[in-house]
Structure 1
Amino acid sequence: MTLTAEDRAAVTDLINRHGHLTDSGEFDRMQELFTADAAYDVTDLGGGVLTGLAMLRDAALALGERNPVAHHVTNIVLTEVADDRVHTLSKGIGINADGTIGSVTYEDTIVRGDSGWRISHRTVRARRAPLTR
């Protein structure tokens, strides 16, 4: 499979939209980003694996004021895997209300379905030390 320029733009836009929808609290629009049965692995952050859109929304609401005020995604790299499936690697920067910041790496599996490209699996890994994998 060769990703077209349009596919690459659509996948990159999908990853970028996550921060906008999350930061504005539009958790009822997560179906625009994730498959219905998406797995969101935040084990490295102490949250385990969240499965499904309702669980994603409920976890974000439960964090309340502890949610970052801003999510920024950079360094998006796409790797073609098979027809209608792409792995991506990107960096995330979260800014908290108290001014502290955190850095993570997002590892995504993104699939194309009837509604377009959606994240089916995301692993979030905290960056706590320099020069480590």
Structure 2
Amino acid sequence: MLSIEDRIAIYELIALHGHLVDDGRLDELGQVFADDAVHDLTAFGLGMHRGLGSVRESALALGDANPLGHHVTNTIITAVNDDGVLVRSKGIGVRADGASGTVIYDDLVARRNGEWRIVRRAIMVHRKPLGRE
């Protein structure tokens, strides 16, 4: 069972990602991702990225294709197991041209050096209503 304090820390961890990326503070992503994090962008055709440096480099490689705003909503903890905590969130991205899109973040969050960090993130694109791919 997670404490209320752990739940709040996990929700704030998930929210912090958007603030750091949108502000261009990519050197601070270690506050969100573990050093050995896996970042799965295969739904975008961008492959798997392993390690904190690769997560940062993938954001830099996208350049102006990155959304102006990452808005994370509907965050729920779906399971607690020996590997950590499974967290699912919905994301809305707003681009410079005003276009927007939605994704689902599936995260494995675990304690690293006493702090919660994302150790695995898979981002799935949502293109059709009612859960149809």
TM-score bucket of the superposed structures, by smaller chain:
over 0.9
Structure 2 alignment gaps of length 5 or more: none
Write the mapping of 1:7-22 to structure 2, written as runs, cut at 5 A: 7-22=6-21
Q: Is the 8 A contact 1:103 1:127 kept in 2?
A: yes
Deviations 1:26-54 (A, max 9, x none): 11111100110100001001111111111
TM (normalized to structure 1)?
Answer: 0.95
CA distance in 2, matches of 1:52, 1:4: 29
Corresponding residue pairs, total: 132
Identity over aligned pairs, percent: 47
TM-score (norm 2): 0.95
Q: Corresponding residue for 2:43?
A: 44
Task: Choose 61-70 or 118-127, whichever is displaced more.
Answer: 61-70
Q: How does 1:114-129 map to 2 (within 5 A)?
A: 114-129=113-128
Q: What stretches of structure 1 of length at least 5 have no aligned partner?
A: none
Secondary structure of the equivalent of 1:68? coil
Dislocated runs of 4+, deviation >6 Å: none
Higher mean alpha-carbon deviation, 22-31 vs 82-91, is at 82-91
What corresponds to 1:4 in structure 2?
3
Give, in whole Å, the separation in 2 of the partners of 1:66 and 1:115.
Answer: 35
Q: Please, what is the CA RMSD of the aligned residues?
A: 1.2
Other structure's SS at 1:98 match: coil
1:57 correspondence with 2:56 = yes
Cα distance in 2 for partners of 1:115, 1:30 equals: 17
* Cα distance between partner residues in 2 of 1:88 and 1:94: 19
C-alpha separation in 2, matches of 1:10 and 1:28: 21
The equivalent of 2:102 in structure 1 is: 103
Matching residue of 1:72: 71
What's the CA shift string for 1:95-122, capped at 9, x where partnerless? 0000000100000000012140000000
Whether the aligned pair in 2 keeps the contact of 1:38 and 1:119 (CA below 8 Å) is yes
